[in-house]
Structure 1
């Protein structure tokens, strides 16, 4: 096989392993919001799982505050 073909086949296999971004229901979103507020209140470091467009990535952060208008946090 040509190197170009090998790369093309690897790309197809990688796309087959792609994980779709899940849709959160209202109850799960409220659980996450509660956990974030508790982490802020108790000054905890938390593990965040997020979808990176292909798969899930993980990061440890300490959240200082959450903007109620945008619902984004400051780490």
Structure 2
């Protein structure tokens, strides 16, 4: 698991990520990726094609993690 939400530089954050919904398995892949984030909560807005992550954490760590997963299967 990736711990985004247990650093000394934690701030309350909510981040939204646009999701490519063209893949038939996009929802399953995104859920698998987001489940790897320890200590945060997430929800997916299927109609808008957005995934949201919220919690106390380091936004830079979260962005690096999501960027590392870009274009990869979970």
Q: Normalised by the size of structure 1, how large is the TM-score?
A: 0.27
Q: Which has the larger radius of gyration?
A: 1
Q: Normalised by the size of structure 2, how large is the TM-score?
A: 0.27
More helix per residue: 1 or 2? Answer: 1
Higher relative contact order (CA 8 A, sep 6+): 2
More strand per residue: 1 or 2? Answer: 2
